[in-house]
Structure 1
Amino acid sequence: MFFSSFSFKHVAIGSLMISALTACSSSPTGRSQVILFSDSEMSQLGAQSFEQLKQTEKVSTNVKINTYVTCVADAITQQVPKQASFDSWEVVVFDSPQVNAFALPGGKIGVYTGLLNVATNQDQLATVLGHEVAHVLANHGNERMSRSQITNTGLQISDVALSTTGYGEYRDLAMGALGLGVQYGITLPYGRTQETEADIMGIDLMAKAGFDPNQSIQLWKNMAKTSGGNQPPELLSTHPSHGTRINDLTSEIKRLPKYSVKAPQCQ
């Protein structure tokens, strides 16, 4: 009996390892990733999470703010190739002092009004939205969930959260894996490698849309002022420090090609 149980356990682990090996892929910057979930599964989970947020968070009805944010977001997403798992991007502004924004698989973008006090012009807002959309394009949520699956900490996600009936029970865990952990206390949004990758992809995306990538530097200077110097040391954080981020972006901007598209005047 012991031998049978032992063998079954190792067969299961072996099968999971084989699945992981066969699911290896590369991010848009060439970094190796393990991706276990399909685009349609991730889009379903993103849509479910977004609907939950719209029910629990206060949605802004300010027409001017909604028009402005949607204008910037639309300019960014128009530079994104058509996605097989969803047809269009949905943008919602949440009335909250949080200095935050996110993008989810399935074409969902959320912006908190508190961000507009720090991203003080359309180019700075485009920096944030380009960064968040880049997380989706680089499959960072899928990567986090796949890593959890391999270490057995995310089995509830794959077994339950991807089904419509079981989503509610594991909502917080699923949202944490998608980078919504700040709101739900499950996990920090993304690791340093993913954040840096999203920075690189994001400024290229905003530049393609005609926005000024140099404003990304000012954005992070604003972020540094807002944090009041209370950011933890870089080695103790999953995020790059503000200084590291600014230095990396400065170097990356010098390598950007000259794009001919002009950004809309969003007001």
Structure 2
Amino acid sequence: MKAKLILLTVSLLSASLLVGCAKSPSGRQQLTLFSNSEMKQLGTQSFEQMKKEIPLSRDKKLNQYVQCVATHITAQVEKGYAIKTWEVVVFDSDQVNAFALPGGKIGVYRGLLNVATTQDQLASVIGHEVAHVLSEHGNERMSHAQLANAGLAVADVFSKESEYGGVAMSALGLGVQYGVLLPFSRTHESEADLFGLALMAKAGFDPRAAVQLWKNMAKASSGENPAEILSTHPSHKTRIDDLNAAMPTALKLQKQANSRPHCK
């Protein structure tokens, strides 16, 4: 039984590595095991569920403002990504957050606007979230989680026969969490920062606002962030340093933009 399970799992891992390789917009090798249609379905289902569970903002001006910023950002998405329309929703919640999902779904929480106080700062957030979708980070995260679970299943066969099986499994689970999954997430965040910076600049927004946004985020968090090594996000300082390093290129892209957004 053990031998069959091990053989099956190794075969699954080998096949996955052969058929699921792709490249991110930055040129990094990715493992993507799910099809675009599967990701779109998951994104759409999740979005519809959220709209049922979280109150939607009925503030017409607020919705128009967020829609305006998002439209300028999504207009920069190349046709090759096969997302023709984007649905934008403002959630009536104090949470400081936003997200984008496969299938062209964008959610912005009202509380974010207390931190992203200008159209350019909001554009940096929406650009970042759209960049996650275009970079297939959700697919990659799910793919790595699936392989991690397959590996844990094999290890569990051995651990059950050991006096210290439970301890070994806990240690292995912790190792997978902090040694594989979270570092990839920090990579995703950094990629989305830079890709999103380019998107907002191409749309005509001021890319320098991205730096100010993260200064606002650092102030709003009041030093409560976890240590970067245990976080799914880079530290505020790391993000700001990386954004500043990419700023000359972003400013050139903004200069080349055909228009300057005026979202109010």
Query: Does the pair score TM above 0.5?
Result: yes
1:17 and 1:150 in contact (8 A); partners too: no
Match of 1:62 in 2: 59
Out of 117, 125, 138, which is 1:141 matched to? 138
Out of 183, 205, 224, which is 1:211 matched to? 205
Out of 15, 28, 32, which is 1:31 matched to? 28
- Deviation per residue, 1:222-260 (Å, 9 max, x gap): 101101122122222221111111111001112333322
In 2: Cα distance, 1:149 partner to 1:235 partner: 23
2:33 and 2:139 in contact (8 A); partners too: yes
Q: How does 1:111-190 map to 2 (within 5 A)?
A: 111-152=108-149
The letter for the 2-side match of 1:133 is V
In 2: Cα distance, 1:8 partner to 1:221 partner: 50
Match of 1:178 in 2: none
Match of 2:41 in 1: 44
- After TM superposition, give the deviation of residue 151 of structure 1 in Å: 1.8
Out of 5, 10, 24, which is 2:7 matched to? 10
1:135 and 1:194 in contact (8 A); partners too: yes
- After TM superposition, give the deviation of residue 11 of structure 1 in Å: 3.3
- Deviation per residue, 1:129-180 (Å, 9 max, x gap): 00000000000000011011112269xxxxxxxxxxxxxxxxxxxxxxxxxx
Is 1:200 equivalent to 2:194 in the alignment?
Answer: yes
- After TM superposition, give the deviation of residue 200 of structure 1 in Å: 0.5
In 2: Cα distance, 1:193 partner to 1:84 partner: 21
Match of 2:240 in 1: 246
Gaps of 5+ in 2: 152-180
The letter for the 2-side match of 1:199 is D
Give the 3 Å change call, closer, same or farther, for CA 64–27 of structure 1 in structure 2: same
2:22 and 2:31 in contact (8 A); partners too: yes
Match of 2:228 in 1: 234
2:97 and 2:111 in contact (8 A); partners too: yes
- Deviation per residue, 1:45-66 (Å, 9 max, x gap): 0000000000000100100000
Give the 3 Å change call, closer, same or farther, for CA 21–84 of structure 1 in structure 2: same
- After TM superposition, give the deviation of residue 81 of structure 1 in Å: 1.7
- Deviation per residue, 1:94-116 (Å, 9 max, x gap): 00000000000000000000000
SS at match of 1:191: helix
* Count of residue pairs brought into register by the alignment: 233
Match of 1:160 in 2: none
In 2: Cα distance, 1:96 partner to 1:11 partner: 46
Structure with greater helix share of residues: 2
Instruction: Please give the TM-score of this superposition, normalised by the length of structure 1.
Output: 0.82
Instruction: Please give the TM-score of this superposition, normalised by the length of structure 2.
Output: 0.83
1:43 and 1:85 in contact (8 A); partners too: no
Identity %: 58
1:20 and 1:35 in contact (8 A); partners too: no
2:201 and 2:257 in contact (8 A); partners too: no
In 1: Cα distance, 2:87 partner to 2:29 partner: 29
The letter for the 2-side match of 1:136 is V
